[in-house]
Homo-oligomer: A and B are copies of this chain.
Amino acid sequence: MAAFARNQWYVAAYGREVGRELFARTVLGEPIVFYRTESGDVVGFADRCVHRRYPLSESRLDGDRIVCGYHGFTYDRAGSCVFVPGQARIPRTARVRSYPVVEQDSFVWVWIGERELADPAAVPRAPWLADPAYTTVSGMEPLAARYELLVDNLLDLSHETYLHGGYIGTPEVANTPITTEVDEDRGIIYVSRHMADAACPPFYAKSTGIEGRITRWQDIEYRPPCLYLLHSRIAPVGVLPEEDGADPGGFHVEVVYAITPETEHSTHDFWAVARDFALEDQSVSDFLAENNRTVVLQDVRALDILERVIATEPEGYQELSVNIDTGGLAARRILAKLAGERVQVVPS
């Protein structure tokens, strides 16, 4: 199992999850308490009182201050202690660590690592999720599995045919070869599968209204460690984008995952589906939300099983990798580099 990649931005929550109640979430093993200040900013602190480690998320807000629920140590919105019970003097070191936070594209991003290295401009983008030209459904499912298993899963969509048959999988997905490109400088992995003439899975038939066979493009763009984009284009067979890039005949779905390790053996699996058609049609939104959640839960079930296998059978096991794994193996390599590790990847 690879170590975590630190000094990175991770999605900790949707903006809608964080309000005027204390909100606890663990990211890369670090327990963090978030809340929204009276002025509307999201702030995040180490979720442990400096006194006796009591979780501040078990405490209460007093304006923008957190009052520890055990002995009343009180912290301001910068994390500085401003009250200690039974004495006037505040110890100089009484301060909880605050985390750099950016709210963008509907997500609350948090920087895990050295504070001074955090660059808000470097937060990766998923602009569709907050773009009025798109309608988005989204959710988060807790995964009782290490994040690497979700990365593997998402970078090899051939599993759609087997694990998600009847939903998003059709035989063409598993049988169409992929192309994989790695931008080593920027650390981005691209995996593409362009099906010129494919069955239309019910998932898309119902939401686009297309009857008959389709041209189906799946263009994965994975920006390790956290952000995974699947640019999905569906059109009737033979309908391609125009020369200038305009694509009035295509239906576009931007599938976004944020893969955030919670602990070594659990992951926050954020998923969002943004579409550029049927924008006001609530029945399409409901259909996509329910179906994508079903697909995510199929993955969750399978990966939870796999985690138990891996966690309880630790001895040296040689995986057998094939062509479909090219993207996943590249991802492992880049993740290991980000985590400061070397891995040995042995393709078959």
| Residues in B whose Cβ lies below 8 Å from that of A85 | 158, 161-162, 174-175, 322, 324
| Residues in B whose Cβ lies below 8 Å from that of A302 | 54, 58, 69-70
Q: Are B305 and A162 interface neighbours, CB within 8 A? A: no
**Is A50's beta carbon under 8 Å from chain B?**
yes
- Complex interface residues of chain A between 80 and 124 (CB less than 8 A to chain B): 84-87, 91, 93-94
Q: Are A53 and B86 interface neighbours, CB within 8 A? A: no
| Residues in B whose Cβ lies below 8 Å from that of A319 | 50-53
Complex-state Cα separation, A91 to B318, whole angstroms? 14
Interface size for A (C-beta < 8 A) is 48
| Residues in B whose Cβ lies below 8 Å from that of A317 | 53
A243 to chain B, nearest CB (A): 31
Q: With A54-B302, A161-B72, A302-B58 as given contacts, are A177 and B323 in contact (CB-CB < 8 Å)?
A: no
Q: Which of A48, A70, A161 has the most CB of B within 10 A?
A: A70
**Closest residue on chain B to residue A49 by CB atoms:** B320
What is the predominant secondary structure among interface residues of chain A facing chain B?
Answer: loop
Partner of A93, one of B84, B91, B348: B348
- Complex interface residues of chain A between 117 and 172 (CB less than 8 A to chain B): 152, 156, 158-159, 161-163
| Residues in B whose Cβ lies below 8 Å from that of A305 | 54-55, 58
Complex-state Cα separation, A302 to B72, whole angstroms? 13
**Is A182's beta carbon under 8 Å from chain B?**
no
Q: Are A174 and B71 interface neighbours, CB within 8 A? A: yes
**Is A310's beta carbon under 8 Å from chain B?**
yes
